[in-house]
Amino acid sequence: MVRVLSPSVAIPFVAGWVALLVMTMAGSALVDRHVSPFGQARAGLRAIHLHALGAALLAVVWALPIIAFAPWLGPVERGVLWSIMAMLMAGMGFAFGVVPLGAQVFIAILGVAGTVAFQAQGAVTAAVVSACFQVFVAVGAAETGRTFLDGKLAEAGLADRGEVVSLLLREFEEGEADWLWQVDVNRRVREVSPRFAFALGLDQDDAEGKPLIQLLAGESWETGFFHSSLHDLAERIKRRESFSNLLVRVTLQGQHRWWELSASPRIADNGTFFGFRGVGSDVTERRESEEEIAYLARFDTLTGLPNRLQLTEALGAAMRRADQSRSRCGFLMIDLDRFKTVNDTLGHVVGDQLLERLAERLRALVGDAGLCGRLGGDEFAVVLGGPGIDGDKVHAVAQRIISGLSQAYLIDHYTLYIGASVGSAIGPRDGVTVETLMRNADLALYRAKGEGGAAHVVYEPSLQTDAEQRRQLELAMRNALERSEFSLVYQPVIDAKSGAVLSFEALARWTSAEHGPVSPAKFIPVAESARLIVPIGEWVLRSACLEAARWPTPIKVAVNISGEQLLESGFAETVVSALANSGLPPHRLEIEVTESVFSRDSAAALVTLNRIIALGCAVALDDFGTGASSIGYFRKLRFSTIKIDRSFVQGAARLAPESLAIVRAVVAMADSMEMSTTAEGVETESELAMIRKLGCRKFQGYLSGRPMSADQAYELVGKTAKSARPVQDGSGGARGAVG
């Protein structure tokens, strides 16, 4: 520029311009260095604006010669001057591509200055060329800047992604149970990672170059007999197949572990295979947890026997085999007798130990004949399959089980005896589905328990009929109270010496709208199993108290109470309420219980009965000698009366020695403990004479009178209250006393 200007422009002007240019460039450099230090990767918005301002000042200084000195120059010098400015615009446009704003400002100022200068001198063509050149350079500078910035953004994105991948790989490698692994074309491990070496229990150098299968097989590598999962892994690598979540059992330092491996073959761009690379994790704990869950789902935790699920599956399989081979299979349901007594008296710890011993014994008794398991609680089952299954074989297995389980158990210095009841069904004769066969075996078991236990009952169609009848009776009974279908009858209890009526036993009767008169022997067990006995028993108690309140003062009423009622928490309060509502004095109410109420929860039963005695009521023990009799009850509870069962009365009348001895013993015990005795079921004069001779104080039965209505009972006690005659030996004494 100095060389072009010197011939035509005064030296002081040229020198001043040069000085101004140097100062502007120096100031611009200082500003750039201050706002964007050397080596900084990014520039802020303020730095970009300051750089653009510096570029504008620099462009103004460069534009001065063509604006201020052009009139002093010739056409050639002006052309050269424009060429210099064009070179500066092009060069600065590319040089400032990093900061496009500065480049555009520089180009715009110089381009406008050139265009204005040419226009002022009348060179219209040159002015147009200058304007076009300015536009082309500006567009080129913008494209250069955009390309540069796109490249930088892509570079930054790749760097970020690389950093993220590196971080993930580092975290993956540092994880507790995951690692990277790779093998070469010869299936030898290469570039062993620290985590992979740690999982193998080796140093990285010791593992490097070893065959992968050898490292995983452990001691079995020498023999070649290693786990099938390792063979599967070797085959997949050999076939160069990708695999995911392959479960492999490895042997490391003599211990078996479970690994989960995933990998893909490594293929070069030219298609050459050069190994496998993948990831792995130790899933031993998860595998063990899954196995434990699977075990718990199919086996009983206490006894170790198969549970209901596995028994059901086994029975289904046995039925399918029987259907295919046109043979039979058997299903036995087992319920333990008297097991609850063990839990109630000795506690659940001893009960659990007993179940464990029993399960071992049951497994030995069944042996290879079938599969035994626990259904729950004290219920067990046996599935019998295979050829030769028939009724005789099922019965033989059932009898063997009953006999074997009834033998003594020695647990914690206790010698325990329990029994077993068995119900069985044979498929497909007794059912073509698992549910039907199990239900029918359960019906047979119900019958076995009802017959007293320690028995085997085979299913027969009549059991289904009985079950349906029980179901229908239960449905009808649920509305019987509301429809007033129940009624009470009263059977007199007579003084054996005087023949006077001492009390009445209230007995429930049911006349159903659907079924007509229903025997107590049928509806009482149904009511107890359906827990309807509680509301029915409360109705009987309240009704009997209301009726007894009409009778003369000495006459009592006896009400039978079931075990379900006695174990109700508010039963004593129910007795108080019945007495209060009726106005009956407590000493005229006698509660009759059987020994069975003590077999379920003797402690709770004794507490409730003692509360009733404390009210002033009497408590009688009914059917003594027919159940699991225990004189221990007499130490804990003061009974008013012991009722001797009809079977002993009849036996004594026939002079049976056992019956005579039992009746004498009961009477002697009752007399010594100041209790009364009542002989039940006295029907003949000879029976009456015998129980008098043996010392029984009271009796009841058809000889004293059949159960009668409330009005008949009231009429009877009205007569006897006026005049009571002693019962004479002979044919009509007792009948004369009761009318």
Token look-up 């609850």 returns 340
Token look-up 């101004």 returns 20
* 589 DSSP β-pair partners: 557
In Å, how far are 19, 130, 237, 592, 594 from 640, measured between CA atoms? 138, 136, 90, 10, 14
Token look-up 């827990």 returns 531
Task: Please calculate the CA angle 665-668-674 and round it to the nearest 5 degrees.
Answer: 140
At 691-714, the pLDDT tens digits run 999 999 999 998 888 899 999 999
pLDDT band at 94 (very low <50, low <70, confident <90, very high): confident
Question: What three-state secondary structure class fits 687?
Answer: helix
In Å, how far are 342, 397, 490, 612, 629 from 608, measured between CA atoms? 22, 43, 26, 6, 20
User: Which of 658, 706, 699 lies closest to 676 in space, CA to CA?
Assistant: 699
Question: Do both 499 and 647 map to the same domain?
Answer: yes
- Per DSSP, 367 falls in state G
Question: Do both 537 and 416 map to the same domain?
Answer: no
Q: What is the pLDDT of residue 106?
A: 80
Averaged pLDDT, 131-139: 83
CA distance 177 to 279: 11
Q: What is the pLDDT of residue 161?
A: 67
For residue 492, report the phi and psi dihedrals to the nearest 5 degrees.
Answer: -75, 150
Q: In one letter, which amino acid is 641?
A: T
CA distance 478 to 485: 11
* Residue 129 maps to a domain: yes
In Å, how far are 314, 363, 382, 595 from 329, measured between CA atoms? 11, 18, 11, 40
Angle between helices 520-529 and 461-477 (to 10 degrees): 80
Give me the sheet containing 243-252, strands edge to edge.
Answer: 178-183, 273-282, 255-267, 243-252
Q: Is the pLDDT of residue 726 over 50?
A: no
Q: Is the pLDDT of residue 303 over 60?
A: yes
For residue 314, report the phi and psi dihedrals to the nearest 5 degrees.
Answer: -65, -40
For residue 438, report the phi and psi dihedrals to the nearest 5 degrees.
Answer: -65, -40
In Å, how far are 8, 209, 355, 378, 423 from 451, measured between CA atoms? 142, 78, 24, 18, 12
Q: What is the pLDDT of residue 375?
A: 93
Question: Do both 90 and 195 map to the same domain?
Answer: no
* 698 DSSP β-pair partners: 495, 678
Q: Is the pLDDT of residue 175 over 60?
A: no
For residue 102, report the phi and psi dihedrals to the nearest 5 degrees.
Answer: -65, -40
Question: Do both 315 and 403 map to the same domain?
Answer: yes
User: Residue 422 in contact with residue 360, Cβ under 8 Å?
Assistant: no
More confident residue, 158 or 197: 197
List the structure tokens of 380: 């067990």
Q: In one letter, which amino acid is 481?
A: L
Q: What percent of the chain has pLDDT over 90?
A: 34
Bridge pairing between strands 370-376 and 379-384: antiparallel
Question: What three-state secondary structure class fits 379?
Answer: strand
User: Which of 354, 308, 357, 304 lies closest to 331 in space, CA to CA?
Assistant: 308
Q: Is the pLDDT of residue 509 over 80?
A: yes
Question: Do both 148 and 236 map to the same domain?
Answer: no
Query: Average model confidence (pLDDT) for the chain?
Result: 84
User: Which of 628, 549, 566, 567 lies closest to 596 in space, CA to CA?
Assistant: 628
CATH number at residue 198: 3.30.450.20
More confident residue, 599 or 699: 699
Question: What three-state secondary structure class fits 90?
Answer: helix
Pick the most confident of 26-30, 142-146, 230-234.
Answer: 230-234
* Residue 87 maps to a domain: yes
Residues in the chain: 739
Q: Is the pLDDT of residue 70 over 80?
A: no
* Residue 99 maps to a domain: yes
In Å, how far are 60, 344, 356 from 37, measured between CA atoms? 26, 90, 84
Q: Is the pLDDT of residue 735 over 70?
A: no
CATH number at residue 387: 3.30.70.270
CA distance 410 to 529: 33
Q: Is the pLDDT of residue 434 over 50?
A: yes
* 265 DSSP β-pair partners: 276
Q: In one letter, which amino acid is 156?
A: A
pLDDT band at 629 (very low <50, low <70, confident <90, very high): low
Residue 524, C-beta contacts closer than 8 angstroms, at least 6 positions apart: 508, 533, 562
User: Residue 502 in contact with residue 698, Cβ under 8 Å?
Assistant: yes
Distance of CA 230 to the CA centre of its chain: 35
List the structure tokens of 181: 């692994």
Averaged pLDDT, 40-52: 70
Task: Please calculate the CA angle 524-529-533 and round it to the nearest 5 degrees.
Answer: 50
* Residue 665 maps to a domain: yes
Q: What is the pLDDT of residue 601?
A: 59
Question: Do both 488 and 414 map to the same domain?
Answer: no
Question: What three-state secondary structure class fits 262?
Answer: strand
Question: Do both 248 and 310 map to the same domain?
Answer: no
Q: What is the pLDDT of residue 708?
A: 93
Domain boundary residue among 245, 263, 290? 290
Q: What is the pLDDT of residue 173?
A: 52
Question: What three-state secondary structure class fits 252?
Answer: strand
* 676 DSSP β-pair partners: 641
CATH number at residue 688: 3.20.20.450
- Ranges 204-218, 451-465, 614-628: which has the least confidence: 614-628
pLDDT band at 113 (very low <50, low <70, confident <90, very high): confident
Question: Do both 363 and 415 map to the same domain?
Answer: yes
Averaged pLDDT, 48-55: 78
* Residue 296 maps to a domain: no
Instruction: Note if the bond before 525 is cis, omega within 30 degrees.
Output: no
Q: Is the pLDDT of residue 724 over 50?
A: no
CB burial readout 524-546, b (16+ within 10 A) else e: bebbbebebbbebbbbbbbbbbb
More confident residue, 627 or 421: 421
Helix (H) or strand (E) holding 552: none
Question: What three-state secondary structure class fits 502?
Answer: strand
In Å, how far are 92, 261, 293 from 283, measured between CA atoms? 64, 10, 15
Domain boundary residue among 403, 432, 459? 459
Total domains in the fold of the chain = 4
pLDDT band at 583 (very low <50, low <70, confident <90, very high): very high
Question: Do both 550 and 683 map to the same domain?
Answer: yes
Q: What is the pLDDT of residue 168?
A: 52
At 363-392, the pLDDT tens digits run 999 998 899 999 999 999 999 988 888 999
Residue 485, C-beta contacts closer than 8 angstroms, at least 6 positions apart: 510, 511, 512, 513
Q: What is the pLDDT of residue 119?
A: 76
Question: What three-state secondary structure class fits 247?
Answer: strand
Pick the most confident of 22-36, 103-117, 394-408, 619-633.
Answer: 394-408
Question: Do both 137 and 206 map to the same domain?
Answer: no
In Å, how far are 209, 231, 233, 258, 274 from 213, measured between CA atoms? 12, 9, 8, 14, 18
List the structure tokens of 733: 């004494």
For residue 385, report the phi and psi dihedrals to the nearest 5 degrees.
Answer: -135, 180
CA distance 696 to 423: 42
* Residue 162 maps to a domain: no
Q: What is the pLDDT of residue 159?
A: 67
CA distance 147 to 141: 10
pLDDT band at 42 (very low <50, low <70, confident <90, very high): low
More confident residue, 285 or 36: 285
CA distance 558 to 502: 11
Q: What is the pLDDT of residue 165?
A: 58
List the structure tokens of 631: 């004189």
Burial class (CB in 10 A: 0-12, 13-18, 19+), 151: exposed
User: Dihedral angle at the C-alpha atoms of 305, 311, 317, 322, nearest 10 degrees?
Assistant: 100
Question: Do both 574 and 496 map to the same domain?
Answer: yes
Question: Do both 507 and 638 map to the same domain?
Answer: yes
Averaged pLDDT, 103-129: 80
CA distance 713 to 8: 158
State the residue range of the domain holding 276.
Answer: 178-290
Averaged pLDDT, 14-23: 87
Token look-up 């007509």 returns 516
Q: What is the pLDDT of residue 343?
A: 84
* Residue 28 maps to a domain: yes
At 394-409, the pLDDT tens digits run 999 999 999 999 999 9
* Residue 730 maps to a domain: no
- Per DSSP, 188 falls in state B
Provide, for the chain, the percentages of residues in helix, strand and coil under a 3-state DSSP scheme, each rounded to the nearest 5: 55, 20, 25
Domain boundary residue among 412, 432, 459? 459
